[in-house]
C-alpha cells in the first residue's frame, strides 16, 4: 500500500498532486500450522511446502481535492513453490510462476477536513479489482510417468481470475509532539466462487477424492489489518521509527458469493517494527513483520471429506516490505 499521507511525518496531498509509489514485498513460507498448532519443521512429504514470493507494486495516486484521491495499483509477482505432494511424493521438485497480477483502482476520502485537522483524521477506501492477472500459469509436475505440464498452486498464481471489491479505512492521531498512532485495514471481496483452473493435483483422484473443493481453484476473500505507533527520531529530521501489529489472512468463507473450490485459508498475526524517512517530495519506508501466531482454517472440502490433513496452511515466519514514493 502507498504511504498513508497525513500521518507518520508526511503531509496531505494537495489538489492536483500526483504520488508515484514503488513497493517490494518478499516472504518465504515454510512453517505449517494445523488450526493453531505449529507443526514440526520440516513437515512430512505429504504436506511439505516451501513457498517463496517476490511482489513488486507500482501505484499512481492523483488527488482530485484535498479530501478525494484515486489510486491505480499494478502488481508483478515472481514466485516458486517446492513440494512432494504436487509431484511424485518421492522427490522434492519446484514449480515457478511470474507475471502481472490483478490491478486495483481505489478511491480514498478523508472524513475530516485536512485544513482543520492536520494532526488527526480518518479515511474510507473503496474500489474494485479487475481480473487483469493470469490465474492459470503452468509449470512441470514431475510424476512417476514423467513430467506433465500442470497449473501451479494458487499461492503462486499471479492473478485470481475474478473481479473483486475493495474496501477499507485508515486513521491516525498525533498523541504528543513527536508521536502518532495509526491504523489501516483493507478487505478484498471476491464474489466469484471458482476460476476454472485445476489445482496442481486436480487430476489425481487419490488426492482429491473427486471433490471439486480440491480439484478447481477458488477465489477467496483476503484481508490485511495493521495498527501501531510512529515516533519521530530526535535530531534526524524526517526520520521516524514505527512499531505495530498486523494481521494478514485468507478467508475460509467469503463475504459474498460461494466459498467452494481449492483454497488455502488461514491467518498470521505479526509484530511489525519499521522505519520511515521523508525528505522534500520523497518518502521511504521499511517494515519487517515477524509472525508470532499462525492459524490454518478448514475448507468446505476438508469438512465434507473429513480429511485428516484438514486445516493445514503454510505461513511465512517474516516478511520484508520496502516502499519508495515521490510526490509531483
Domains of the chain: 18-327 (2.40.128.130)
CB 201, CB 147: distance < 8 Å: no
CB 84, CB 45: distance < 8 Å: yes
Separation in Å, CA 271 to CA 75, 167, 171, 242:
25, 24, 19, 11
Going residue by residue through the chain, which has 328 residues, state the pLDDT in tens, using 9 for 90 and above.
444 454 544 579 999 999 999 999 999 999 999 999 999 988 888 889 999 999 999 999 999 999 999 999 999 999 999 999 999 999 999 999 999 999 999 999 999 999 999 999 999 999 999 999 999 999 999 999 999 999 999 999 999 999 999 999 999 999 998 999 999 999 999 999 999 999 999 999 999 999 999 999 999 999 999 999 999 999 899 999 999 999 999 999 999 999 999 999 999 999 999 999 999 999 999 999 999 999 999 999 999 999 998 999 999 999 999 999 999 9
Strand pairing report for 216-218 and 37-38: unpaired
For residue 321 the three cell numbers come to: 516490505
CB 273, CB 288: distance < 8 Å: yes
d(CA 45, CA 92) in angstroms, rounded, equals 8
CB 58, CB 325: distance < 8 Å: no
3-state secondary structure (DSSP) of residue 300: helix
The candidate with the shortest Cα–Cα distance to 185, out of 210, 166, 204, is 166
pLDDT at position 11: 74
pLDDT at position 261: 97
d(CA 268, CA 246) in angstroms, rounded, equals 8
pLDDT at position 44: 87
**Residue 151: Cβ-neighbour burial (10 angstroms; 0-12, 13-18, 19+):** buried
pLDDT at position 10: 52
pLDDT at position 41: 87
pLDDT at position 9: 45
d(CA 311, CA 266) in angstroms, rounded, equals 8
d(CA 270, CA 290) in angstroms, rounded, equals 5
3-state secondary structure (DSSP) of residue 304: helix
d(CA 147, CA 87) in angstroms, rounded, equals 9
3-state secondary structure (DSSP) of residue 207: helix
pLDDT at position 177: 87
Beta bridge partners of 253: none
Q: How many residues does the chain have?
A: 328
pTM for the structure as a whole? 0.93
**Residue 308: Cβ-neighbour burial (10 angstroms; 0-12, 13-18, 19+):** exposed
Amino acid at each position: 500500500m502507498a504511504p498513508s499521507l497525513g500521518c507518520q511525518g508526511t503531509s496531505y496531498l494537495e489538489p492536483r498532486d500526483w504520488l508515484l509509489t514503488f513497493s517490494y514485498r518478499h516472504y518465504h513460507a515454510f512453517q505449517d500450522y494445523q488450526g493453531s498448532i505449529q507443526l514440526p519443521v520440516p513437515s512430512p512429504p505429504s504436506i511439505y511446502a516451501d513457498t517463496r514470493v517476490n511482489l513488486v507494486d507500482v501505484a499512481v495516486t492523483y488527488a482530485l481535492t484535498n479530501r478525494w484521491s484515486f489510486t491505480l495499483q499494478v502488481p508483478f509477482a515472481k514466485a516458486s513453490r517446492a513440494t512432494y505432494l504436487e509431484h511424485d511424493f518421492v522427490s522434492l521438485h519446484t514449480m515457478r510462476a511470474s507475471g502481472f497480477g490483478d490491478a486495483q483502482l481505489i478511491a480514498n476520502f478523508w472524513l475530516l477536513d485536512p485544513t482543520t485537522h492536520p494532526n488527526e483524521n480518518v479515511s474510507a477506501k473503496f474500489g474494485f479489482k479487475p481480473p487483469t492477472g493470469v490465474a492459470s500459469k503452468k509449470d512441470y509436475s514431475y510424476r512417476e510417468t514423467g513430467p506433465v505440464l500442470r497449473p501451479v498452486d494458487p499461492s503462486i498464481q499471479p492473478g485470481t481470475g475474478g473481479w473483486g471489491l475493495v474496501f477499507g479505512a485508515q486513521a491516525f492521531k498525533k498523541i504528543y509532539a513527536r508521536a502518532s498512532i495509526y491504523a489501516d485495514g483493507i478487505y478484498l471481496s471476491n464474489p466469484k466462487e471458482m476460476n476454472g483452473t485445476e489445482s496442481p493435483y486436480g487430476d489425481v483422484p487419490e488426492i482429491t477424492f473427486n471433490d471439486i473443493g480440491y480439484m478447481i481453484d477458488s477465489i477467496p476473500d483476503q484481508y490485511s489489518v495493521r495498527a501501531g505507533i510512529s515516533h519521530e527520531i530526535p535530531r534526524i529530521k524526517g526520520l521516524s521509527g514505527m512499531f505495530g501489529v498486523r494481521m494478514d489472512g485468507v478467508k475460509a468463507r467469503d463475504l459474498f458469493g460461494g466459498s467452494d473450490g481449492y483454497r488455502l485459508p488461514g491467518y498470521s498475526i505479526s509484530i511489525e517494527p519499521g522505519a520511515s524517512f521523508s525528505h522534500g517530495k520523497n518518502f521511504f519506508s521499511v517494515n519487517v513483520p515477524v509472525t508470532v501466531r499462525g492459524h490454518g482454517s478448514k475448507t468446505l472440502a476438508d469438512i465434507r471429506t473429513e480429511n485428516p490433513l484438514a486445516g493445514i496452511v503454510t505461513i511465512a515466519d517474516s516478511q520484508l516490505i520496502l516502499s519508495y514514493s515521490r510526490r509531483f
